[in-house]
Structure 1
């Protein structure tokens, strides 16, 4: 085994199983969802969202995408919501927290993604400073 092969093997051991585990039928961005997380998720195939962008085809650049015409005046909320995330094929499923939850049923630790003293929620129409409506 040469040095490159040894490095690749060590990296694979650190990262754990690849996306999709041992199931070659799964997309590279899919994980092996537990049965309780498979039903009612939405389409497995790519779909076109309300902005005319194909979601789930791994082609992240398209003329219809706000990313293709982003300016400093673009409100990031235009790309928020479930219509921008594929229910089965999303790079976010590959995180260890999501894999633990969706493949193994291990709930995430409470409070690890919260700010006790800040309201990070976005609401259109807020003044942006206090979180209170103007």
Structure 2
């Protein structure tokens, strides 16, 4: 009897890194390396050793610009903790596209430009 795709995925789960998920084939193409790599800053990405001598995190000061750690060179294409979120697992393992919409925060309106009054604040003032 042939194994189902789910049985094969369950068997392969043991081969996965703790931060990996079982990507659908269309999401595996062109992602980048599965093995750990050294980024342009000399930091190994994907080895789960987060204390690297070259990492800006180890040399952080009040003058460090956080942008220095932004970008794809800081994220492993297969072994990122972010893949463990329910939304990312649904998308990358099942092909369920996330619902679009405005990002919301329980007490912050992030849908307006800094320096402008928020629409929530305007609504609250109109009701008063």
TM-score (normalised: structure 1): 0.70
What's the CA shift for 1:113?
Answer: 3.0
Separation (CA, whole Å) in 2 of partners of 1:62 and 1:78: 15
CA contact (8 A) 1:55 1:85 kept: yes
Alignment correspondent of 2:30: 40
Root mean square deviation, CA, Å:
2.0
CA contact (8 A) 1:21 1:31 kept: no
CA contact (8 A) 2:36 2:45 kept: yes
* Alignment gaps of 5+ in structure 1: 1-19, 120-128
Alignment correspondent of 1:81: 71
2:68 is paired with a residue whose SS is: helix
Q: Deviations over 1:38-58 (max 9, x none)?
A: 010000000000000000000
Structure having the higher helix fraction is 2
Separation (CA, whole Å) in 1 of partners of 2:54 and 2:87: 32
What's the CA shift for 1:112?
Answer: 4.7
Alignment correspondent of 2:100: 110
Q: Select the residue among 17, 20, 25 that pairs with 1:27.
A: 17
